[in-house]
Amino acid sequence: MSAAVRALMYLVAAAAFGAAAFAALAASADGPREAFVTNQLADSVSVVDLATMKQVAEITVPGRPAGVAMSPMRDFAYVTTPEGKALFAIDTVARKVAWQLTVGEGPLGIAVNPRSGVVYVANWYGDEIVAVDPVRRAIVGRVKVGRAPSGIAVTEDGTTILTADREADALSVIDAATMIRTGEIKVGTHPFGLAIEPGGKRAFAANVVSNDVSVIDLATRKVTTTVKVGSRPYGIAFARGRAFVTNQASRSLSVFDLANLKVVATIRVGDYPEGIEASGDGAVVYVACWSDNVLQRVDVESLSVSGTADVGDGPRGFGAFLR
């Protein structure tokens, strides 16, 4: 492809996406610039500038915000409010709530389909996943899953949704196109956080009560290995061939190698670490520490905390919060 053709394609793309969205895309290519952290006890979302590790805005979101996910263009942060029974869409550039929608009982886990942009919300009390079309701002699908669904993950190709059904000790597998539940995979005791590794071959579920991570082969839909971690594991992120797991009650991260699934390090972080996400280049992971009211940056090479930002009360950041 010639340079001229490529330039033309970029122009067309820019026109199609709009200038703001294109700017957001360009920004995320350089690594994340901001975190949108849900502060459950403060009824707010903190916007943290990642270069300075300072809170630069706090957006009021009533109803005990907990889960968070980003639109594919990172122009919207979607936030669940378990007590408000609602999904909020925050315009990340304007830093304002753009719209909200009642979605059901105890919405907590949330993920966005990377291909279609459809938002999936897990209704903890309703034992169901609802699909929300953010353009129409309407519920466009529903599917029953196991009891108390919490974490949600979507495969990179957008075809398959997984949920961690906490009280069922299992994952549900859902076909995204039809919103039909096609299977159940038994894991450890009370899975909560859930993530699919880059490449999409395996899923990892953090089991809050059995203090381990189930590694699931997605082709066979079977647990292949169980990795012991710290106390009350919550969230999982991947960076540079390793998994980083937040252990709430041990106030630590367990780090294990994705090739041999052996724990290589335990990193001390702020108290009650919960939501965790890696930067696009895998150089750092960011961790929301619920008890200490901070967002911490952990350097992946040195395996140590390299920055701390004060946020609101009770940060959870359960999901994807970087843009």
Partner 1 sequence: MNRIVAAIVLIASLPALAMAHGPSRKKEVTTIEIDAPAEKVWEVVGNYRDMSWHPAIDKTEVDPGEYKKEVTKRKLTFKNGAVFTDTLTRHEPAERTIAFLTNDEDLKTLPVEGYSSTISVADTGGKSKVEWKGAFYRGYMNNDPPPELSDAAATKAVIAFQKQGLEALKAKLEAGQ
Q: Which of 231, 241, 301, 304 contacts partner 1 by CB under 8 A? A: 231
246 binds partner 1 (CB under 8 A): no
Interface of this chain with partner 1, residues 180 to 199, rule: CB under 8 A: none
250 binds partner 1 (CB under 8 A): yes
Q: What is the 3-state secondary structure (H, E, C) of the chain?
A: CCHHHHHHHHHHHHHHHCHHHHHHHHHHHCCCCEEEEEECCCCEEEEEECCCCEEEEEEECCCCCCEEEECCCCCEEEEEECCCCEEEEEECCCCEEEEEEECCCCEEEEEECCCCCCEEEEECCCCEEEEEECCCCEEEEEEECCCCEEEEEECCCCCEEEEEEHHHCEEEEEECCCCEEEEEEECCCCEEEEEECCCCCEEEEEECCCCEEEEEECCCCEEEEEEECCCCEEEEEEECCEEEEEECCCCEEEEEECCCCCEEEEEECCCCEEEEEECCCCCEEEEEECCCCEEEEEECCCCEEEEEEECCCCECCEECCEC
45 binds partner 1 (CB under 8 A): no
64 binds partner 1 (CB under 8 A): yes
Binding mask 195-224 for partner 1 (x = CB under 8 A): ----------------x-------------
Part in contact with partner 1 (CB under 8 A); list of ranges 20-28, 101-109, 276-284, 300-308: 101-109
Distance in Å, CB of 321 to partner 1, minimum: 17
For partner 1, give the closer residue by CB, 232 or 242: 232
Interface of this chain with partner 1, residues 140 to 159, rule: CB under 8 A: 147-148, 150
Interface of this chain with partner 1, residues 117 to 136, rule: CB under 8 A: 124-125
Part in contact with partner 1 (CB under 8 A); list of ranges 9-17, 110-118, 128-136, 244-252: 244-252
98 binds partner 1 (CB under 8 A): no
The number of residues that bind partner 1 (CB under 8 A) is 28
82 binds partner 1 (CB under 8 A): yes
Contact set with partner 1 (CB under 8 A): 40-41, 64, 66, 82-83, 85, 105-106, 108, 124-125, 147-148, 150, 166-167, 211, 231-232, 249-251, 271-272, 290-291, 314
